[in-house]
Structure 1
Amino acid sequence: MAMSLKKIGAIAAGSAMVASALATGVFAVEKIGDVEGFKVIDNGEPTADIVVGSTAAAADVVSAANVAAKVGSMMFKEGEAASGSAKLTVKASAESDDANLRKLLLGNTSTINFTEDQHDGKKVFVVAAADSDYSDGFIKAGGLANLAVNSEIYGSTDKGVILNASLGDLSTLAQVKDIDPSDWNNSNDDDAVEMVFATVKSNGDDKSVTVTEDAAVYASIAYLDDKETFNDGTVTFKEGNRLPFLGEEYALVKLDSDDDIVYLGKEVFDGVLKEGDTYNIGDGYELKVVAILKSGDGEEYKISLQLLKDGKVVAEKFDKATAKSALKMIYTPGNIGIVVNEAWENVGGDYGFASALITKDVIALELGEEYMPDWEAVTVQQDSTTKNLILEDSDVDKDNTIGIALKYVGDDEDNFKSGNTMKIAKYANLELDDEDKDEKLNLFFSMDETKEATLAAGQKATVLNSEITLSEVMADAKAPVAFKAPLAVLDTEVSLDAANKKLILVGGPVANALTKELADAGKIEMTVESPATLAVVAGAANGNDVLVVAGGDRAATAEAANALIEML
């Protein structure tokens, strides 16, 4: 990826540093200083604080949180097991059924060689799911209505699709069998199911096909209990619902229609909190239910919440909470999300209660933006008239979100042939294999995935669609040593003069006060024209190095953050 880079100066310790361009995957970024030498992990623990501006735009806050999550994923340390917990590594592999493109069955009797010249430009659509009932129901009559004209899932308005094929189940995909475990919305056991689908186009050369931009999708879709057809079986996600996302169970914390962001988090607590209660979330964070007040003469209640970090209030919220309009609170610097569905008082009216969900490790899916290189975040919606699937990349619709998805937006895979593998959202695979036979060219999905889970004795977890239980820890077992995960902090909570470790500053001088301080001191130079930049300023934070992750605008800052994440 080539681009003309403007020279940006950086002065530290009285010497000039040389700038160079770095291309990382689809991201291009300008490096200044010893970026590769800026280590974020030492002996399994973080060496730097990630700092975001207290008045920064949502995009910068999301970038900081994503950097923090990446650093957290690199942390490790082992010690003797003493607390009855252990880290388990689960590895699983699976393959779906296949479609032989050289002997493709059309209807009940006739077969064609899809790769021959006469079928050049024609397409085949394939789908697999955690359970074959859902992939079968996706394409069967009455399943996905008007599938043959539904350009959303074919990646083009030039349809040419001659076959829609269910490849059955890909058993390592995940499924949540009760998306509303606390019955906030109803007592149904509705499901959420992972699916992968793709459209391949014949090249007419007897050996290869093309997968175009927009023609491969990973999705997590909600279905009514005991319903498997897309046409009449889907259900709208509500905040607080659970769903699988890339093999792990998350809670839907917020559908943000203002910024068009979907927030997902890992459950920490799901239950009832009493007015005055304080819940310890971990990493120094606590949630306090300050007050629950009856609103007017009706049955509506307003709730006052405070989020504390090391005893200091860092965020608060005062709003009503009802089943139709839950209270949502997102604190992105700490990757914490809270949903309060309902509040009530005791019979005497002396104190109140709140039904709450607390989550950590919150991730943000900004519609129309790449969640990972080449894979754009979208919501799955359904046309109310045609029942067609819609992959929405710009507007969060709370009343019509039936799924979360990642859509391929990279370059066309235009010479996809036997032995090739296309990674779907760094999770599943689309493969071709001719088995060294002239009459074979099998198209199928596969997975070969490893996940980790830390469990206490007796605790259960669902990993790669399998439930595992840790029965006991032997005396000589190894267990993770406790440490604090890295969290993004605000520029009002740390200073260059008093820093006790390295700093990663996300955002330019306008968005981040510490970046502005460096710019004012002449240690970095950045304008609204600056490209995505990673700049190391040696010793600028009380003798500790500083890495500036920024650009001339929010998009450039996001690109710089993504490049850093890919480098780590």
Structure 2
Amino acid sequence: MAMSMKKIGAIAVGGAMVASALATGAFAAEKVGDVDAFAADVVADGNANVDIVVGSNAAALDVVSAANVAAKIGSLMFKEGTVEDGSAQITVSASAESDEIKDLWATAPAAIAGQDKALVITAPDDDYTAVATGILGFADGVPAGTGLNLFGITTADAAVDLEDLQTLMIVEDADPSGWDFYGTGNDFEAAEVLVAVVNTETTVPASTFGVGTPDLEVLEDEVVYASLAFVEDQYGNAAGDYAALFPGMRIPLLGQEMVVVKLDTDDDLAIVGTEAYEGVIKQGDSYDVGNGYTVKIANVLKQSGTAYKVDVQLLKDGKVVASKFDTVDKPAAPAAATQLKLVYKDMGIVVNAAWTDVGDNYGYAELVIADNVVEMELGEEFIPDYEAYTVDLTAAGLTLSDKATAAGTIVGIALKYVGDDVDKISKDKTFTIADYAKLDFDEDSGKIALKFLMDESKDVNINIGEKVSVLNAEIKLADIEAEAKEAVVMTAPIAVLDSEASLDAADKGLILVGGPVVNALTAELADAGLVAIDNESPATLAVAAGAANGNDVLVVAGGDRAATEEAAEALIDML
């Protein structure tokens, strides 16, 4: 009798609630209470706002239903908002032509007329190619006939200035801020240069395209792409115009600004990469490079004089993968300066200087971090048909070397053509230089017309706020406007047993899967007259407002396990 009275009381309370039918797709459930509001609040600010409870005595099908509800809630857990950081891939295209010279031997300086070859040169600014003050002075010679060696090409006065090709690149700020590596107080810049020698097949120079005139040739070892460093506003006619390369210096390389990471004298390598960071890091602090890499200054120890020992660590996904503990020194005599250089896979680090605070409590390291690092093996092909060399400034001029050290000073990096000779050049012919620029042969009124040209596109990845220089253009990504869902690490709700949960101790809403026979918390609500579920109940979603320590409770149940499964599927359809 007591059982009957309790059942009647529960039904009466249940009947006082607002009830409606929920039909979603193939699944239908009775709704009791404000189920829609509960469902709308299961995720708040990207996190689960409910716990899921399944009965200790539940059938396997109830457990599966609880897991399915948890998985659905987990799929809703993302954050939506404005993009504050990110990156974009940008395609940069540029085209340009140098000056054109027609009837090369007839219109060039008189000294070239008796030659069977002519050197042509171009750079991003015609200041670099001027005969009297620029690089061309090494080849053209002052006075006439005393031309020096230009990249291994000796041409005496047979040199022609085709002036600027504006898509070649200049790095106007080649030295990192404040480094003053040589102690001269100079600032440095770096520029790309193209040099090619055009030969005739006989000692009689060709002036026209046509029968009876010699064809033209481009020979192995006589085409050079070079990236050279200069003292700012000096253009290469004299030894004092050039700047020796040092680790950390920025130079252009095939249209993109790169950092010299290391000139490896053991293996004769020129190692370069893309600048990821330049600045100062405090001892104990780190810089997140991206792609899982982090650079940490683990320690800075003062030694005697101006020397410091710096402990640099490179971490990948939180694990140290490379480190170096070495001396960095910036003495009064710059020639004795030492840097720390660390190269690991495609990452490079150059520490230029270090110091500590007044009390020697903590230290600082001045450094450049580079990614996308590549090794250029000197004297070997870097790209098809082009070998890599250093450019050395010697008494004989600018020469190419397959050594990372030389008798002179290394002032640049070059790529020299080592492919097959190209002969019998006729009109409408182009010779491609380092897959980057072209030497174009054309016809104008039957005369040879010769020029350099570029029509180049490059893809670059750039982060918000970052600047990149490519094809002699500086690009800054100011912002990305997009609607985005940010991937965040979140923990989806996990169903727990009724023996591990409590209505009185709940700190968020509860979803109870299973009726009072199998779920003890559902039974508590039924005993209190807050829900009405029995063996005859259809699939039901019932809300007991404030029943879990002030938090709402949703009961997902039915008269049997199949009805409970149907109620769970109906809830999943709502979410």
**Bin for the TM-score computed over the shorter chain:** 0.5 to 0.7
CA offsets 1:180-203 (integer angstroms, 9 cap, x no match): 131212543321010000111112
Residue of structure 2 in register with 1:217 after alignment: 224
Deviation of 1:461 after TM superposition, in Å, equals: 2.8
2: CA distance, partners of 1:398 / 1:473? 50
2:137 and 2:147 in contact (8 A); partners too:
no
Note closer, same or farther for the CA distance 1:156–1:452 as it changes in structure 2 (3 Å cut). closer
CA contact (8 A) 1:250 1:264 kept: yes
Between structure 1 and structure 2, the one with the greater Rg is: 2
Other-structure match for 1:515: none
Correspondence list, 1:208-357, <5 A: 208-232=215-239, 233-295=241-303, 297-323=304-330, 324-332=337-345, 335-357=346-368
- C-alpha offsets along residues 464-486 of structure 1, whole Å, 9 cap, x if unaligned? 1122344544548x99x9xxxxx
1:183 to 1:142, Cα distance in 2 relative to 1, 3 A: farther
Q: Does 1:447 align with 2:454?
A: yes
Superposed CA offset, 1:389-409 (max 9, x none): 111123434971101110001
Cα deviations by residue, 1:86-145 (Å, 9 ceiling, x for unpaired)? 3322211001012223563243xx699x7xxxx7x7100010001110011122489867
8 Å contact from structure 1 (residues 142, 231) kept in 2: no
CA contact (8 A) 1:321 1:343 kept: yes
Cα distance, 1:463–1:154 mapped onto 2, change above 3 Å: closer
**Cα distance between partner residues in 1 of 2:316 and 2:267:** 26
Q: 2:135 aligns with which of 127, 135, 138?
A: 138
Where do 1:549-568 residues align within 5 Å? none
Shift in Å, 1:168: 0.4
Is the Cα contact below 8 Å between 1:209 and 1:417 reproduced in 2? yes
Aligned residue in 2 for 1:417: 426
Sort the Cα spacing of 1:269 and 1:223 in 2 relative to 1 into closer, same or farther, 3 A.
Answer: same
| 8 Å CA contact retained: 2:464, 2:477 | yes
Q: Within 5 A, what are the aligned runs for 1:55-204?
A: 82=83, 85-101=87-103, 104-107=106-109, 122-136=116-130, 137-140=134-137, 153=150, 163-185=158-180, 187-204=185-202
Distance in 2 separating the partners of 1:471 and 1:98: 39
The TM-score normalised by the length of structure 2 is: 0.62
Report 1:511-526 matches (<5 A): none
Change (3 A) 1:138 1:286: same
The answer to whether the 8 A contact 1:103-1:111 is kept is: no
Q: CA deviation at 1:453?
A: 2.9
CA RMSD of aligned residues (A): 3.0
Contact persistence 2:140–2:148 (CA under 8 A): no
Question: 1:147 & 1:217 partners in 2: Cα distance?
Answer: 24
2:399 is equivalent to residue 405 of structure 1: no
Q: Which range is displaced more, 269-278 or 178-187?
A: 178-187
SS in 1 for 2:358: coil
Please state whether the residue corresponding to 1:132 is helix, strand or coil.
coil
Q: In 1, distance between residues paired with 2:434 and 2:390?
A: 15
What letter corresponds to residue 182 of structure 1 in structure 2? S
Q: How many residues align?
A: 384
- Judge conservation of contact 1:155–1:212 (CA < 8 Å) in 2: no
The runs of 5 or more residues in structure 1 that have no matched partner are 1-79, 482-568
With over 3 angstroms needed to count, the CA separation of the structure-2 counterparts of 1:259 and 1:81, relative to structure 1, is farther
Whether the aligned pair in 2 keeps the contact of 1:154 and 1:198 (CA below 8 Å) is: no
Q: Distance in 2 between matches of 1:237 and 1:398?
A: 14
- Post-superposition Cα deviations, 1:149-183, rounded to whole Å, max 9, x if no partner, equal 668548667x5x66211100000000011211312
Residues 127 and 289 (structure 1), Cα distance of their counterparts in 2 relative to 1, 3 Å cut: same
Q: Which amino acid aligns with 1:283?
A: N
Any idea what the Cα deviations from partners look like across 1:303-322, whole Å, max 9, x if unmatched? 11222222222211111012
Question: Residue 339 of structure 2 aligns to which amino acid in structure 1?
Answer: A
**After alignment, is 413-422 or 262-271 more displaced?**
413-422
With over 3 angstroms needed to count, the CA separation of the structure-2 counterparts of 1:124 and 1:266, relative to structure 1, is: same
Shift of the alpha carbon at 1:419? 1.1
**For the residues of structure 1 that align with 2:213 and 2:233, how far apart are their CA atoms?**
42
Cα distance in 1, alignment partners of residues 476 and 144 from structure 2: 41
Q: Where does the alignment leave 5 or more consecutive residues of structure 2 unmatched?
A: 1-80, 203-211, 331-336, 488-575
Question: Matched residues, percent identical?
Answer: 40
Could you tell me which amino acid in structure 2 is paired with residue 401 of structure 1? I
Cα distance in 1, alignment partners of residues 339 and 399 from structure 2 = 26
Once the 2 structures are TM-superposed, how far is the Cα of residue 273 of structure 1 from its aligned partner? 1.0
Q: Structure 1 residues 401, 146: closer, same or farther in 2, change over 3 A?
A: farther
Report the TM-score, using the length of structure 1 for normalisation.
Answer: 0.62
Determine if contact 1:125/1:154 at 8 Å carries over to the other structure. Answer: no
Name the CA distance, whole Å, in 1 between partners of 2:417 and 2:144.
20
Report Cα offsets for 1:332-373 as digits up to 9, x if no partner: 2xx000000111111011111110111100011111000011
SS in 1 for 2:238: helix
Q: Which amino acid aligns with 1:396?
A: T
8 Å CA contact 1:196–1:219 kept in 2: the answer is yes
For 1:96 and 1:135, the matched residues in 2 are separated by 12
Aligned 1:9-24 pairs, distance under 5 A = none
Q: Partners of 2:321 and 2:315 in 1: how far apart? A: 6
Distance, in Å, in 1 between the alignment partners of 2:244 and 2:272 is: 16
For 1:147 and 1:238, the matched residues in 2 are separated by 35
Residue equivalent to 2:570: none
Distance 1:393 1:154, change over 3 A: closer
SS at structure 2 position matched to 1:104: helix
1:370 equivalenced with 2:381 (yes/no): yes
2-structure distance, mates of 1:241, 1:252: 5
CA offsets per residue over residues 230-271 of structure 1, 9 Å max, x none?
Answer: 323111111111111101001111111111101111111111
Q: Is 2:140–2:157's contact at 8 Å kept on the other side of the alignment? A: no
